[in-house]
Chains A and B, each alone.
Chain A
Amino acid sequence: MLIFEKSRAGRRATAQAPLQESDLDGLPQQFRRRQSASMPEVSEMQVVRHYTQLSQKNFSIDTHFYPLGSCTMKYNPRASNSLASLPGFLARHPLAPETHSQGFMGCMYDLQEMLKEATGMFAVSLSPAAGAQGEFAGVAMIRAYHDARGDDARNEILVPDAAHGTNPASAVMCGYKVREIPTGGDGDIDVEALKGVLGPQTAGIMLTNPSTVGVFERRIKEIAGLVHEAGGLLYYDGANLNAILGKVRPGDMGFDVIHMNLHKTFSTPHGGGGPGAGPVGVSERLEPYLPVPMVAQDGADYVWLTEDNRAESIGRLSAFAGNAGVLLRAYIYARLLGRDGMHRVAEFSTLNANYLLKRLTDAGFDAAYPQRRASHEFILTLKRQARELGVNTMDFAKRLLDFGVHAPTTYFPLLVPECLLIEPTETEAQDELDRFVDSMTAILQEAQNDPERVKSAPHDLPVRRLDDVRAARDLDLAWKG
């Protein structure tokens, strides 16, 4: 039942609004609304009960194992939320003067410095609001760099065929054409194919490492050399930074520009779809183009760097300073972890992924890249099961929900048929991983003995499989009363 359907005319949550009705006399009639908006009229308790009950229909990290590949669904420390929500932080107006912002700015400055060190980049701007905006900023900086040198014939960005969809979409938003590079049978980029497409039209290449197929790109130094030789720049998609934190740094691999997903690697909440934060880091030659605002230190004071003192910046991407509250949560997480904690993120996420991969292949599942180590995630392909049992990846995913596990990422990357991209993260214990193996094994047995049971899953959730075709055909996007 929708909140609108619980509404009764005249019912109010009266404590929530100002007690006195104020005068609107200063607003001429011509500008006024003639009819009140059609909103629910409900009591405070009805609201609390309604949304509490809705929340209980969700799977979340706090309630379920959530091995959604490429999304790094690890535990979000409660301290990050409560400390970022201290009144002094919540009450600060984004345009408060620097004299009244030193505490907040100090946190941002420290975070910039820590991210520089963790990624091996020369400078960092925290302002992009999410990974995709970080990608946009990164590609825009690549363009600004080429433009500033008068090197404006470069009109092409290269992306691997396995890349996140945001990569080509971000490149297009920066006015580039996109050309895809094939992935070799071992999961690494096809370097020969890359050589064939590099040229004076190449503005840059966007790579994730470990790649979206869950393995480390071993020839990264060679690739960096080739791209640089052709005059292009290397962009690092930080989606998988969790796999290498404290082990190897994008700056040392030869990347010129990177974005980080703090809602992944730095454990800020995913919030049912966001907010994220997508800071960007750059090598020295791209430093002038970083998006504003940034925080700098001037003697003992912190000061803002804006369009006024950074003329070559690609500019501003949101009205104020990006998702400041998310940045604070990431900062708190980074301080809790410290340098040793960061090494351990990569170590234990990699240990968990390799353990799960071994146990699942022992249980009869096929790894997409059996000859490779897993990074912090890995891919299974259910091609064989789909062919032999008529039970596909989506069926497995839906049946997992009945077992109380959020499904891994399905059908991505597109080049591996019937794939599951599985990322356990470092915060899961061995027993939870074992339970996942048990669930997968049980579903495999079911698929052999009672395939209909799997194909019609889920059975124990608030709804069964939904009619997506109907949703897109008979659009019902808002309650109409």
Chain B
Amino acid sequence: MPFIPHTEADIQAMLAIIGAPDIDTLFDEIPQALRCGELEKIPQGMSEMEVGRLMNVRARQDGQPLCFIGAGAYDHHIPAAVWQLATRGEFYTAYTPYQAEASQGTLQLLYEFQSMMTALTVMDVSNTSLYDGASALAEAVLMAVRANRKSKSKRILLPRSLHPAYRRVVHSIVRNQGIELVELPFDMESGQTDPEGLEQYAGEDFAALVIPQCNFFGVLESVDELTDWAHANRMLAVAVANPVALAVLQPPGEWGEQGADICCGEGQPLGAPLASGGPYFGFLTCTQKLVRQMPGRIIGRTLDLDGKTGFTLTLQAREQHIRRSKATSNICTNQGLMVTAATIHMSLLGAQGLERVAAACHANTGKLVKALSGLPGVSPVFKGAVFHERVLRLPLETKDALRSLAAHNVLGGYDLSADYPELGNAVLVCATEMRSDEDIEQYRSKLERVINARIQTPCKLKPDW
């Protein structure tokens, strides 16, 4: 029996002690009418070898296309040591460190994680993760509504230039609490949040302004001005940041005169593989003043009975297992293992390593944009400076171009036409440090052929080359 150690003799001995004739008797409190029969639609069990064969077929089935999609999930190099350490059984198969004395490994690691995230964002405190970047923003919005006592409105300003999936997730999570999300337009020329669009709300009651750096178009926002504007209008400034970009970009704690109040984002670029979208982790840091409004686990350093340093879960009175319906959030299980990987990842790279990765991504995307912009009808849409993604306009429908590229194993970027029809045939491209010059040339040459084929046979969806 897979994973069950009992011998027939064990079973009989145990039943004899219980005083039951057979195992089925142990279910005699379940009304007979409710019992189910065989789970017929579930296949019979397989051996590890057979499941291995099945999974290998499925893992190889889709090939290994060359990927230039970013849009919230980024293909970075993960040092070999990261997952070899993170999958050690002592990390991999422990749970939430409720028994602090038996969990000092995980607890110290989480304290180190909090220290690294506060250093990266230049904020005072960090929790130990939420599910992902989008749900972390939803929690940040809820936190801002609770924390901003000057605001009565439960309204939030959310830029249209923020990741569309993030906007949807925030909506799904906060809408039942009567929170209203108001969309801020972006400037069609720069790709930044439009200052005029912002000014129309000056003096109005909002709990917070959300400020992505960089925004979904890869464009850098004028974060100092936005942060100061939020504070001048009695709003909290909620930063949404990419942690790799933070290695080279001004940290949210230093935005404007006073810095952002809350910072959140997607932790995936810090050691989590793309892996179809998860597990990743959301990070959340904030000012000391807001720490009691923070959702999720927080680790504190303290002393034991002998005065020795140790680590423990703290401020648990915020949490659901203590406060129940009055908790700051319902979160219980978080993304601990991903945080374990991220902490090891950051230790290996250090600040300088992360800066090199960030700079390499920036340079590679620059090369990609330059190469593609040499093609007829391809040009950058926005003038604003970018970190490691850029929006390009194409001379044919984005959907068709991407489909043709994919047929030749190039994933050419994220199609913006559904979320931003106002941009026309636009695609968001990204080249991390993982893409070589040869990869970029492959993309360029394939796109060139797609465009040429299109010009020659304008009605055909798929060029036959």
| A164, A269, A319, A467 — most chain B CB neighbours (10 Å) | A319
Q: Are A178 and B325 in contact (CB under 8 A)?
A: yes
Q: Which residues of B contact A74 (CB under 8 A)?
A: 3
Q: Are A22 and B102 in contact (CB under 8 A)?
A: no
- Distance in Å: Cβ of B437 to nearest Cβ of chain A: 12
CA distance A107 to B246 in the complex (A): 36
B459 within 8 A of A: no
Task: Point out the residue from A56, A101, A308, A470 that lies within 8 Å of B303, measured CB to CB.
Answer: A470
Q: Are B301 and A323 in contact (CB under 8 A)?
A: no
Contacts A33-B250, A60-B90, A325-B278 given; does A247 touch B27 at CB 8 Å? yes
Contacts A33-B251, A95-B71, A430-B14 given; does A60 touch B115 at CB 8 Å? no
Q: Are A2 and B108 in contact (CB under 8 A)?
A: yes
Task: Point out the residue from B34, B105, B134, B279 that lies within 8 Å of A248, measured CB to CB.
Answer: B34
Contacting A at CB under 8 A, from B327-351, are 327, 329-340, 343-344, 346-351
Q: Which residues of B contact A332 (CB under 8 A)?
A: 51, 55
Q: Are B276 and A104 in contact (CB under 8 A)?
A: yes
Q: Are B27 and A350 in contact (CB under 8 A)?
A: yes
B153 within 8 A of A: no
Q: Are B300 and A117 in contact (CB under 8 A)?
A: no
CA distance A471 to B312 in the complex (A): 7
Chain A residue, CB-CB nearest to B92: A269
Contacts A60-B92, A324-B276, A351-B14 given; does A88 touch B333 at CB 8 Å? no
CA distance A291 to B176 in the complex (A): 15
B81 within 8 A of A: yes
Using a Cβ–Cβ cut-off of 8 Å, how many residues does chain A contribute to the interface with B?
A: 201
Task: Point out the residue from A133, A354, A475 that lies within 8 Å of B131, measured CB to CB.
Answer: A133
Q: Are A344 and B99 in contact (CB under 8 A)?
A: no
Q: Which residues of B contact A407 (CB under 8 A)?
A: 99, 102
Chain B residue, CB-CB nearest to A48: B81
Mask: chain A, 336-357; 1 = CB below 8 Å from B; 0 = not = 1111111110111011101100
Q: Are A22 and B29 in contact (CB under 8 A)?
A: no
CA distance A44 to B414 in the complex (A): 36
Contacts A316-B172, A477-B300 given; does A131 touch B332 at CB 8 Å? yes
B229 within 8 A of A: no
Q: Are B42 and A464 in contact (CB under 8 A)?
A: no
CA distance A309 to B171 in the complex (A): 18
Q: Are A60 and B172 in contact (CB under 8 A)?
A: no
- Distance in Å: Cβ of A128 to nearest Cβ of chain B: 9
Chain A residue, CB-CB nearest to B10: A430
From A12-20, A385-393, A439-447, the one touching the partner chain is A12-20
Mask: chain A, 319-339; 1 = CB below 8 Å from B; 0 = not = 111111110000010111111
Q: Are B120 and A430 in contact (CB under 8 A)?
A: no
CA distance A60 to B99 in the complex (A): 11
From A192-200, A212-220, A226-234, A280-288, the one touching the partner chain is A212-220
- Distance in Å: Cβ of A26 to nearest Cβ of chain B: 6
CA distance A325 to B366 in the complex (A): 32
| B75, B300, B311 — most chain A CB neighbours (10 Å) | B300
B264 within 8 A of A: no
Q: Are A132 and B274 in contact (CB under 8 A)?
A: no
- Distance in Å: Cβ of A114 to nearest Cβ of chain B: 5
Q: Are A93 and B135 in contact (CB under 8 A)?
A: no
- Distance in Å: Cβ of B387 to nearest Cβ of chain A: 7
A311 within 8 A of B: no
| A63, A350, A476 — most chain B CB neighbours (10 Å) | A476
Q: Are A355 and B332 in contact (CB under 8 A)?
A: no
Q: Are A106 and B135 in contact (CB under 8 A)?
A: no
B310 within 8 A of A: yes
Contacting B at CB under 8 A, from A1-21, are 2-4, 12-13, 15-18, 20-21
CA distance A355 to B276 in the complex (A): 42
Q: Which residues of B contact A248 (CB under 8 A)?
A: 27, 30, 34-36
Q: Are B312 and A373 in contact (CB under 8 A)?
A: no
Q: Are A103 and B62 in contact (CB under 8 A)?
A: yes
Q: Are A401 and B101 in contact (CB under 8 A)?
A: yes
Contacts A38-B119, A97-B411, A468-B302 given; does A18 touch B312 at CB 8 Å? no
B41 within 8 A of A: yes
Q: Are B177 and A175 in contact (CB under 8 A)?
A: yes
| B51, B69, B73 — most chain A CB neighbours (10 Å) | B51
Q: Which residues of B contact A17 (CB under 8 A)?
A: 349, 352-354, 356-357
24 contacts between A and B (CB under 8 A): A2-B111, A16-B348, A27-B387, A28-B220, A31-B223, A33-B247, A37-B351, A39-B346, A60-B93, A88-B62, A93-B73, A129-B335, A135-B330, A169-B327, A216-B29, A247-B35, A270-B336, A275-B336, A337-B3, A350-B23, A412-B321, A477-B291, A479-B112, A479-B115
